[in-house]
Amino acid sequence: MKINRLNSIIILGLIAIVGIIIAQLLWTKEAFNLEEKKFTQKVHIALLEVAKKLYEGKNHELPANSPINKVSNDYYIVNVDNDFEPEILEYYLKTVFKKFNITTDFEYAMYNCESDEMVYGNYVAISDTSKKENSVYFPKHKNLVYYFAVRFPNETSYLFSSLKFWFILSFALIVILIVYVYSIFTLLQQKKYSELQRDFINNMTHEFKTPLSSILIASNYLSKQEPIQKDPKLDKYAAIIIEQSKKLNHHIEKILNIAKSDDTALKLQKNDILLATVLQDVTENIQLRYPEAHITVTNPDESLQIYGDEFHFTNIVYNLIDNAVKYCEIAPEIHITVSREAHRVRLVFTDNGIGISQKNISFIFDKFYRIPGTKSNEVTGFGLGLYYVHKICKLHNWKITAKSHLGKGTTITLLIPKK
């Protein structure tokens, strides 16, 4: 099965993001292990210092072997081999833990020789918001006499809190993965709908062309018959049928070309275009079709040239002027201004048409979009003209913008970089 480029990008993207998340989780685990090791070292050093302080002023010395014994992850036993008071032990524990920045709750217990068991000392909360846990059993050690035990009930949560950045980063990556998967799913759905739409358009237009061709052939034959030519009304009706059939055929061809260009990229045949010539040819053509239209062109440089596809550029100019005429309720006045700038040519089309509201202006270049209104219902079309204009400008790397005010006309600006 052949995998196209889009599917390859999707699969590679998913693999990359999943790989990053797995790596992030492994790094987080390693960071937690490192924090746990650092915490154990700090506790070991702090308890050793507490043991030294308990020996101060006594005639005894610390045992030769390390007095610190880690029984479990959060449970330590310290052999001092010397008698001590609980209040002094708690004071030293608080002071030394603060010195070594051990800011988590702890509890301690001491071995009582008389009862031969561990006697619970106290639960020391670092902050007022700390939740005190129920006292737990401290197991005694067989071979020691003077010793105490320290337990950190919140060690795991304390270590996790020191890794907030890693967890936030991991969470952000998971959110990115979810957004990526959702975006890909939406993209595939849109691609599917686009393909269905294009297939529908192709099938629909091809089905229309067959009966339309028959109508044109029959209409042309009827218009040449002597009885039709002698009757002014019948001759007019036959001409209307032919004209409207040709117009419908033109719309169908436009839809087919747009659908085809969406499937395969248009190939532009670029060359130098004399701007004044194209504008003159198009305005003359428009004025033959719409004699009531008044079109003026301001071009300070008649020899000005641009680089592009002449056929498609001519269609752009024709579509923009044609729209300006059709969407006008009074005598159309279109003014075209050409100006040369430092690195580009500015082409501005201004009309006195019905205008476009601000809520609709951003959609005028969308395919099949037609602004709802009475005038749009009167003007025949499929909402493909400005979509075509925008697409050709994009292929040329030209910039096109539109500004409009309802009831005051529209201004279309085309920025064309110099060759």
The enclosing H or E element of 34 equals helix 5-55
- Shared-domain flag, residues 133 and 79: yes
Distance CA 148, CA 110 (A): 4
Who has greater pLDDT, 310 or 54?
Answer: 310
Residue 86 tokens read as 């609980």
Write down the pLDDT at residue 372: 66
Residue span of the structural domain in which 190 resides: 165-263
Q: What is the pLDDT of residues 84-119, one digit of tens each?
A: 778 888 888 888 988 888 888 888 888 776 667 777
Position 323 pLDDT exceeds 50: yes
Contact 127, 168 (CB under 8 A): no
Mean pLDDT, all residues of the chain = 79
Amino acid code (one letter) for 137:
Y
The pLDDT tens digits for 231-252 are 888 888 888 888 777 777 776 7
Shared domain check, 132 and 83? yes
Residue among 24, 18, 8, 4 nearest 181 (CA): 18
Structural domain ending residue among the three candidates 162, 187, 202: 162
Are residue 151 and residue 170 in the same domain, yes or no?
Answer: no
Residue 254 has what pLDDT?
65
| pLDDT above 70: residue 414 | yes
* Contact present, 53 and 99 (Cβ < 8 Å): no
Whether residue 101 is found in the same domain as residue 138: yes
Q: Which of 72-76, 129-133, 254-258, 313-317 has the lowest mean pLDDT?
A: 129-133
Higher-confidence position of 206 and 269? 269
* pLDDT range class, residue 60, cuts 50, 70, 90: low
Number of domains observed in the structure of the chain: 3
CATH number at residue 321: 3.30.565.10
Q: What are the tens digits of pLDDT across the range 184-212?
A: 778 777 777 777 766 776 666 667 777 87
